[in-house]
């Protein structure tokens, strides 16, 4: 997200508008009118996950921005588990993932039904490549031959850190459709 564009947007109305889609539409040229963008409240823009703000104007960090980030070493001395409130604030950036509290340990998880056992292993390989590149690893489950579940948390702190959300966002960016069973049409 090019935050230098933001000061050129002068505005405010009293209405609250969904932000990320408008900004993304405007900034990546998908034809949103400048009027729509002018309805954006400066103070409704959420803190980006790198906690930068510009002129009091904060940039919204989408899942795509998160996926572009790099995990930090989990044995770094200043890495801390985040609160459940902070984790909930991050959830909109990792569509499809669930936030769970397992005996006091916060985790992210997501499940898929794959076409076959071998397609499940292929999915694990794609995810594993990302995990190795980030040196941040999920727990992989393949049960009943075609039910995949991935759990992510930072073991070194016994909870969730930004690393977990970065990994989840990167997994969301993988092309997995060819491995997944088609969802049954709602009857």
Part of the chain binding ligand H2B (CB under 6 A), chosen from 5-13, 19-27, 57-65, 134-142? 134-142
Of the candidates 21, 135, 143, 147, which one interacts with ligand H2B according to CB under 6 A? 135
What SS3 string covers 2-48? CHHHHHHCCCCCCCCCCHHHHHHHHHCCCCCCHHHHHCCCHHHCCCC
Q: Does 75 bind ligand H2B (CB under 6 A)?
A: yes
Of the candidates 141, 149, 156, 176, which one interacts with ligand H2B according to CB under 6 A? 156
User: How many whole angstroms separate alpha carbon 19 and alpha carbon 42?
Assistant: 10
Of the candidates 7, 73, 92, 96, which one interacts with ligand H2B according to CB under 6 A? 73
Q: Does 132 bind ligand H2B (CB under 6 A)?
A: no
For ligand H2B, give the closer residue by CB, 37 or 166: 166
Q: Does 137 bind ligand H2B (CB under 6 A)?
A: yes
Q: Does 136 bind ligand H2B (CB under 6 A)?
A: yes
Please, which residues bridge with residue 114 across strands?
180
What values do phi and psi take at 139, rounded to 5? Answer: -95, 125
User: How many whole angstroms separate alpha carbon 111 and alpha carbon 155?
Assistant: 20
Part of the chain binding ligand H2B (CB under 6 A), chosen from 25-33, 36-44, 91-99, 133-141? 133-141
Largest CA distance in the chain: 55
């Amino acid at each position: 997200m090019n935050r230098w564009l933001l000061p050129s947007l002068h505005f405010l109305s009293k209405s609250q508008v969904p932000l990320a889609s408008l900004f993304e539409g405007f900034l990546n040229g998908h034809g949103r009118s400048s009027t729509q963008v002018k309805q954006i409240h400066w103070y409704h823009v959420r803190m980006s996950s790198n906690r930068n703000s510009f002129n009091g104007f904060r940039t919204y960090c989408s899942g795509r921005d998160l996926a572009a980030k790099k995990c930090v070493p989990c044995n770094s001395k200043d890495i801390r588990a985040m609160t459940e409130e902070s984790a909930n604030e991050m959830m909109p950036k990792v569509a499809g993932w669930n936030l769970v509290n397992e005996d006091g340990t916060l985790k992210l998880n997501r499940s898929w039904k794959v076409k076959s056992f071998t397609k499940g292993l292929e999915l694990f390989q794609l995810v594993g490549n990302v995990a190795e590149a980030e040196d941040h690893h999920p727990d992989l489950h393949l049960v009943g031959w075609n039910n995949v579940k991935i759990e992510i948390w930072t073991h070194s702190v016994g909870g969730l850190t930004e690393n977990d959300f970065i990994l989840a966002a990167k997994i969301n960016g993988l092309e997995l459709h060819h491995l997944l069973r088609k969802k049954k049409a709602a009857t």
